[in-house]
């Protein structure tokens, strides 16, 4: 009797297809402290691949806050927030985020991904309409699916198409939730929040903005895209992460007191999971304070972004994606070319990843600038890109 094929054989076939398409991904091992220069496989590399925009992940004050929280509470939070996982530092962090975001309240989750899943699935159900930007982060798209609502994507930042979808579908549904990234993570541009909010008011919709990459970076106090675009006072579901400019781990939702109270009772990814570790919460709390009291970090960041853009302007035939953030992307024709470009940059001591389908529709090199990059780091990157 010939052995029947294993029901797991398809996994190897699928992996082979991923290799053929040049979509295969691997981890890179960093063996040093987070910062603008990191050690990868024994080699010092200039780091343009990090979301640590303000350079806080390696900051001693965050480290100290985490160490003190561990000494006081231990490494784990031991239970869900509603059972045995709540510590004073969780409440302090939530209050600090709410004050900063100018909202009545906030709630912290174990990650930004779970904040989106939990909030979206709690706010919308089978009778509801969810409209999202086609370039939204995976957590927004999967949150929409999880909700069981009717989901439609609109073309990237296209409020004309958003209006059309609202005209077609809004009246057929009970509630409507519009989802958008604040800063688009793999492109670097910003959502047209005032226009989206105007449509939301006209068609009676809720709006959730995921400011994972704008928090700490955009706005006078770093409160994010809503602050930068003058929308802080408008009712809005603010989502974000503690893991990028805030240098820690975890996610949050900020908004009205009743929204947050509702999520504490209905967001499954908050109720049925272990609370954020005290160390991560304490480090994030230290970061929220630093971000507001050290605006010079943002000034350094934007100076470096401007310097890098100048370099780009001097390179013939270089195609970049439109960006209003520290995320700058070089457009490349295909996955193979993007991988080769990333490899060439690595040979010159620069760590900048190739981002390929299916993460994004077109291949690119994604460069993220940090406040702690020095002018000579930007120079070195500029020279390496010109040499490409
Ligand atoms: C736009 C966006 N939202 C949410 C997330 C998820 O956040 P976290 O890493 O905290 O899960 C990310 C990236 O990680 C992101 O880029």
Q: Which of 241, 251, 366 maximizes ligand 1 atoms within 8 Å of its Cβ, making it the mutation to test the pocket?
A: 241
Q: What is the pLDDT of residue 10?
A: 96
Distance CA 36, CA 308 (A): 15
Q: Where in the chain is the domain with CATH 3.90.1150.10?
A: 25-53+295-387
- Residue 17 sits at the vertex; the CA angle it makes with 16 and 20, to the nearest 5 degrees, is 90
Q: Ligand 1: distance of its center to the CA of 250 in Å?
A: 9
By the 8 A CB rule, do 191 and 209 touch?
A: yes
Which residues have C-beta atoms less than 6 Å from ligand 1? 111-113, 137, 139, 181, 185, 210, 212-213, 241, 243, 251
Class of the CATH-defined domain 60-293: alpha beta
Q: What is the pLDDT of residue 279?
A: 98
- Residue 388: how many CB atoms within 10 A of its CB? 15
* Pairs from 63-66 (Cβ < 8 Å, separation ≥ 24): 63/283, 64/286, 65/282, 65/283, 65/285, 65/286, 66/248, 66/279, 66/280, 66/282, 66/283
Q: Where in the chain is the domain with CATH 3.40.640.10?
A: 60-293
Q: What is the pLDDT of residue 362?
A: 93
Distance CA 77, CA 88 (A): 12
By the 8 A CB rule, do 129 and 167 touch?
A: no
By the 8 A CB rule, do 112 and 239 touch?
A: yes
Burial letters 298-327, b for 16+ CB under 10 A, else e: bebbeebbebbeebbeeeeeeebbebebbb
Strands 176-181 and 129-133: parallel
- Residue 230 sits at the vertex; the CA angle it makes with 228 and 233, to the nearest 5 degrees, is 120
End-to-end CA distance of the chain: 57
Distance CA 352, CA 343 (A): 9
Q: What is the pLDDT of residue 388?
A: 86
Q: Ligand 1: distance of its center to the CA of 4 in Å?
A: 42
Strands 354-355 and 364-368: antiparallel
Q: Ligand 1: distance of its center to the CA of 241 in Å?
A: 6
From first to last of its 388 residues, what are the pLDDT tens digits of the chain?
Answer: 677 889 999 999 999 999 998 888 888 899 999 999 999 999 999 999 999 999 999 999 999 999 999 999 999 999 999 999 999 999 999 999 999 999 999 999 999 999 999 999 999 999 999 999 999 999 999 999 999 999 999 999 999 999 999 999 999 999 999 999 999 999 999 999 999 999 999 999 999 999 999 999 999 999 999 999 999 999 999 999 999 999 999 999 999 999 999 999 999 999 999 999 999 999 999 999 999 999 999 999 999 999 999 999 989 889 999 999 999 999 999 999 999 999 999 999 999 999 998 889 999 999 999 999 999 999 999 999 999 8
Q: What is the pLDDT of residue 26?
A: 84
Full 3-state SS string of 290-320: HHHHCHHHHHHHHHHHHHHHHHHHCCCCCCE
Distance CA 215, CA 170 (A): 31
By the 8 A CB rule, do 131 and 166 touch?
A: yes
Q: What is the pLDDT of residue 4?
A: 83
Q: Which of 137, 214, 353 maximizes ligand 1 atoms within 8 Å of its Cβ, making it the mutation to test the pocket?
A: 137
- Residue with CA nearest ligand 1 atom 7: 112
Tens of pLDDT, residues 55-77: 999 999 999 999 999 999 999 99
- Residue with CA nearest ligand 1 atom 8: 112
- Residue 381: how many CB atoms within 10 A of its CB? 25
Q: What is the pLDDT of residue 359?
A: 87
Give 367's contacts (C-beta < 8 A, 6+ positions apart): 48, 308, 327, 328, 329, 330, 352, 381
3-state SS, residue 386 = helix
Q: What is the pLDDT of residue 38?
A: 98
**25-53+295-387 — its CATH code?**
3.90.1150.10
Distance CA 5, CA 8 (A): 8
Q: What is the pLDDT of residue 98?
A: 98
Q: What is the pLDDT of residue 3?
A: 75
> Phi first, then psi: what are they for 359, rounded to 5°?
-60, -40
């Amino acid at each position: 009797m010939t052995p029947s094929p294993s029901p797991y054989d398809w996994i190897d076939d699928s992996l082979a297809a991923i290799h053929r398409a040049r979509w295969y991904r691997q981890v890179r091992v960093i063996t040093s402290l987070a910062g603008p220069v990191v050690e990868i496989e024994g080699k010092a590399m200039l780091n343009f691949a990090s979301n640590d925009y303000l350079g806080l992940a390696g900051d001693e004050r965050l480290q100290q806050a985490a160490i003190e929280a561990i000494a006081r509470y231990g490494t784990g939070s031991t239970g869900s927030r509603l059972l045995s996982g709540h510590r004073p530092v969780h409440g302090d962090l939530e209050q600090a985020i709410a004050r900063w975001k100018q909202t009545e309240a906030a709630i912290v989750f174990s990650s930004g991904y779970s904040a989106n899943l939990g909030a979206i699935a709690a706010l919308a159900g089978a009778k509801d309409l969810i409209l999202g930007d086609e370039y939204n982060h995976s957590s927004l798209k999967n949150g929409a699916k999880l909700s069981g609502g009717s989901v439609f994507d609109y073309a990237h930042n296209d409020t004309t198409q958003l209006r059309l979808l609202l005209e077609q579908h809004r009246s057929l549904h009970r509630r409507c939730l519009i989802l958008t990234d604040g800063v688009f993570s793999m492109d670097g541009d910003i959502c047209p929040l005032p226009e989206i909010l105007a449509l939301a008011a006209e068609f009676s919709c809720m709006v959730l903005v995921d400011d994972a990459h704008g928090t700490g970076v955009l706005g006078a106090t770093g409160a994010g895209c809503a602050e930068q675009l003058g929308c802080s006072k408008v009712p809005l579901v603010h989502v974000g992460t503690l893991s990028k400019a805030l240098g820690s781990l975890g996610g949050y939702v900020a908004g009205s007191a009743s929204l947050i109270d509702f999520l504490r009772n209905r967001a499954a990814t908050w109720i049925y999971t272990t609370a954020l570790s005290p160390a991560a919460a304490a480090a994030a709390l230290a970061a929220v304070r630093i971000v507001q009291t050290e605006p010079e970090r943002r000034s350094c960041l934007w100076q470096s972004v401007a310097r890098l853009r100048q370099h780009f302007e001097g390179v013939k035939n270089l195609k970049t994606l439109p960006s209003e953030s520290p995320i700058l992307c070089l457009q490349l024709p295909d996955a193979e070319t993007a991988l080769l470009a990333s490899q060439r940059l690595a040979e010159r001591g620069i760590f900048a990843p190739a981002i390929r389908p299916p993460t994004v529709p077109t291949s690119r090199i994604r460069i993220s600038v940090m406040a702690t990059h020095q002018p000579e780091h930007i120079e070195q990157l500029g020279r390496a890109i010109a040499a490409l």
